[in-house]
Homo-oligomer: A and B are copies of this chain.
């Protein structure tokens, strides 16, 4: 693809607008603004944003049709995301759009619907250290990294994380308090690709950290749609009455 990849950075954008919430100080214009700015600095990416409180959550059919990869951050208001929009996003993913689900997005309607599982986990918010280990060093999402990187203060997310076994497991995190977590997970679904990446939190400056931003950029490129032709839309299941190859003794078959 020679044109730029079109990325839409979606954010719930509620914590950052609450008075006295740490998110307001850390991300005064919203986490989406910080993530979008980081991605827009890449020469091959073209970035827009969308948030929950916009009409249709900013995710009209037109916006989605012009989106190659969507990133998703939600937490407190998962339930407010309208089912028809979730349906629309799922359809676009199955038809090829990439989806990057960030941190607490693990409980979003869209991620749970695409995984088919509860996507639950255990958690703790002490600001402990997280060390993100690479377990698939040939995968394009780890380009530019070394064997691990650290997040100085993180919310702990721990196993058992109720997801399908990823098609490619890229990262596994270690936490100071005793847990592990499958923190970077690739999934192929329909014609689309999904990457779940747990680092990132509204009360820590994790989206300012260079490794985290770098991984999100790599993930966007990995999740880019693949141009194919002739595949039906995924919700269709056509009858194909005439066989491709003749069947001996079968009249209809020529």
Binding site for B on A (CB under 8 A): 90, 94, 96, 107, 113-118, 120-126, 128-129, 131, 133-140, 142-148, 156, 158-162, 164-165, 167-169, 172-180, 182, 187-193, 225-232, 234-248, 250, 252-253
Contacts and interface: CB of A to CB of B under 8 A. Distances in A.
Given A177-B253, A192-B138, A160 B245 contact: no
Contact of A228 (B94, B143, B156, B237): B143
A95 to B, nearest CB: 10
10 contacts: A114-B116, A120-B235, A124-B241, A134-B159, A138-B189, A138-B193, A139-B188, A143-B226, A145-B229, A178-B245
A234 B118 contact: yes
A226 B138 contact: yes
Nearest to A114: B116
Contacts of A117: 94, 114, 189-190, 234
A157 to B, nearest CB: 10
